[in-house]
Chain A
Amino acid sequence: MIRVKTAIACGVLATVHGLALLANFAAPYSFAAQKREFAFAPPTAVHWIDRHAHFHWRPFVYGSNGEDESRVYPIRFCTRGYSYRFAGLFPLNRHVFGVDAPGVLFLLGTDGFGRDQFSRLLAGSRISLTAGWLAAILSLALGAVLGGISGYHGGLLDDLIMRMSEISLALPWLYLLLAGRAFLPLDAPSSTAYLVLISVVGILGWARPARLVRGLTLSLRERGYVLAARTFGASGGYLLRTHILPDALSVLVTQMALLVPQYIMAEVTLSFLGLGIDEPVPSWGNMLAGVQHYHVLVSSWWMLLPGVPPAVVALCCFTIADSLASRAGAIPL
């Protein structure tokens, strides 16, 4: 049972990442393309059966986002659209699906500028997933190094690092993130702001992995083979690299599976509050920011849909972390 669940979770995660990689190919519109006449348009209804009750093998949509039933636009597959670079390499203008020009196809509705939510969600998944992964790698690397040093050396250095980790754990993480973000000018260009966001989230999260690795190192350094290597005159760096870190790897992988969704949520939260990724580049968080307006929340339910992918990714990651941890025989925090 747990194997089936883990397999499904891995499959879903792979699909989400694949879609993010091929975002341009899978998206019918560019994330920045505006169709002002279709602002806050609800998801387009896709039909197989027309108003004369005839069945069509090829699905179709009605004109004017489903309002004009006199005009019919069949959905075309592998169609031509805006040009982009496929997987960032060679130019292409093919897209998985789309409809001919005056017809529109908004699978998940549009936002206030008439931009296709589905296309933006795909483009945003690149930003959000990358942010989650990079921040997790950063904080794990930082945590592994500091925790390894702290556990291996002990003494004053250990005390210092552990007190520092207590301080950063003693502050509520969101307050700390906001304070860290306040360190930067508000009008920084968005690529800088993105990198800064990732490093702030990653660096502030160093304490938990560091304490974990320290505990592991403390128990590992007393193992027979480590002691043996030390009597042969192995240096501290060598021991950490070849004996201690490889053993700590399984714990680090589990920790990774827990940190990635956590940092994706951090990006979503910060961007939602207006301190993360700036418009017009979409991310899962800043797409949700539109809902802060009362009328949007009340009248356009599809604006809440960008909250679904982070939840799915998190569920998959937690399932994987669970099965990893149950293999190791521990309950993850």
Chain B
Amino acid sequence: MIRFALRRAVHAAVLLVVISLCSFSLLQLAPGNYVDAMRLDVSISPDTAAALRARYGLNQSLPARYVRWWGSVLRGEFGVSFAYGMPVGSLLWPRIKNTLLLATIAAVGLWTVGIVLGVGAAITPSRVLEHVVRSFMSVLHSVPDLLIALALLLLAVRTRLFPIGGMTGLTDSASLAANARDLAEHLALPVTALVLIGLPLVVRHVDAAVRDALRSPFIQAARAHGIPRRRILIAYALPAAANPLISLLGYSIGGLLSSSLLVEVIMGWPGLGSLLLESIFSRDVHVVIGATLVSALFLITGNLISDLLLYVADPRLRVKR
């Protein structure tokens, strides 16, 4: 188990380094940089621009900049943000916390609702209910993600039930209960959007996996033995259906991160996504690289966790080696 985990972790670390190299060279080779854009501003003299270039190391060669960047990564700084004039690390940290909070709660909600609906659609004797769930999911799958977020936003504006944007984080002056309430109110809308966006894929796979498991011979045998249906479902069918779903769990984290970028931008959630978009517009390359790397790290961690869960859940994987 530990050896398996270690090997996967080393694999993940190598992957991260390669990704950092790719994104670094891609972005640094891109024409134009933050200081170049200053030429348009007459109040900034060429001397100042040259001084800034020297200070940020923009006049060095690509390998030299990459090495320099790695040095700052080891100090936990991830380079300097040109626009904010501070280390990227301290800029990213509060955003990471916000995105993780949003994504974690959304993931829990997504899988709870997804499993309930998927298992429900697979075992319900009513053809109508099954059809309704499936049709609703295929329609939801077709609607563009941003339209879902916008429609929710419109709903919130019209009903005035939820605050729009204005998430500032926790304040020390307010009580714990007031803080929690404020947070929950601000989270409700983006979490709902993320759950709705991710739901079709999860429901479809849960449905298919449970249906597959229920059709297999050992379930028929269990039924022939007279084991009650509920017990068959919980003790026999669900564990058998879990394997493909655990793999999907890791994969769905990537989808969740992508859609969370969009939802963050539309709903004004101060997470990684909105920072990334803003830094692309201002050519703040170190922030772009930092945010991309962090998102890759999330994703790789998600896959790692689902691999380990699979290792625990599936005895065949352990026997193999």
Question: Is the C-beta of A265 less than 8 angstroms from some C-beta in chain B?
Answer: yes
Number of interface residues of B (CB under 8 A): 51
**Cα–Cα, bound, A180→B151 (Å):** 29
Are B19 and A291 in contact (CB-based, < 8 A)? no
Are B31 and A297 in contact (CB-based, < 8 A)? no
Q: Which of B21-29, B104-112, B117-125, B172-180 makes up part of the contact surface?
A: B21-29
Question: Is the C-beta of A156 less than 8 angstroms from some C-beta in chain B?
Answer: no
Closest to B282 in A: A186
**Interface residues of B: mostly helix, strand, loop or mixed?**
helix
Question: Is the C-beta of B186 less than 8 angstroms from some C-beta in chain A?
Answer: no
Residue of B23, B150, B285 near A304 (CB, 8 A) is B150
Distance from A331 Cβ to chain B, minimum over Cβ atoms (Å): 5
Question: Is the C-beta of A90 less than 8 angstroms from some C-beta in chain B?
Answer: no
Question: Is the C-beta of A53 less than 8 angstroms from some C-beta in chain B?
Answer: no
**Cα–Cα, bound, A261→B142 (Å):** 8
Are A269 and B26 in contact (CB-based, < 8 A)? no
Are A172 and B146 in contact (CB-based, < 8 A)? no
Are A178 and B276 in contact (CB-based, < 8 A)? yes
Question: Is the C-beta of B261 less than 8 angstroms from some C-beta in chain A?
Answer: yes
Question: Is the C-beta of B15 less than 8 angstroms from some C-beta in chain A?
Answer: yes
Question: Is the C-beta of A166 less than 8 angstroms from some C-beta in chain B?
Answer: yes
Q: A183-B27, A315-B139, A318-B141 are in contact. Are A173 and B146 (CB under 8 A)?
A: no
Are B146 and A167 in contact (CB-based, < 8 A)? no
Tell me the A151-169 residues at the B interface (CB within 8 Å): 166-167, 169
Tell me the A283-325 residues at the B interface (CB within 8 Å): 288, 291-292, 294, 297-298, 301, 304, 307, 310-312, 314-315, 318-319
Are A315 and B142 in contact (CB-based, < 8 A)? yes
Residue of A167, A182, A304, A314 near B142 (CB, 8 A) is A314
Q: A269-B145, A318-B138 are in contact. Are A182 and B19 (CB under 8 A)?
A: no
Question: Is the C-beta of B281 less than 8 angstroms from some C-beta in chain A?
Answer: yes
Are A170 and B15 in contact (CB-based, < 8 A)? yes
Closest to A308 in B: B147
Closest to B284 in A: A182
Distance from A170 Cβ to chain B, minimum over Cβ atoms (Å): 6
List, in ascending order, chain A residues with CB within 8 A of B303's CB: 170
Distance from B100 Cβ to chain A, minimum over Cβ atoms (Å): 14
Question: Is the C-beta of A273 less than 8 angstroms from some C-beta in chain B?
Answer: yes
List, in ascending order, chain A residues with CB within 8 A of B296's CB: 170-172, 175
9 A-B interface contacts by CB (under 8 A): A166-B15, A171-B295, A173-B254, A174-B257, A175-B292, A178-B261, A182-B288, A183-B26, A304-B150
Residues of A within 8 A of B (CB): 166-167, 169-176, 178-186, 261, 265, 268-269, 272-275, 288, 291-292, 294, 297-298, 301, 304, 307, 310-312, 314-315, 318-319, 331
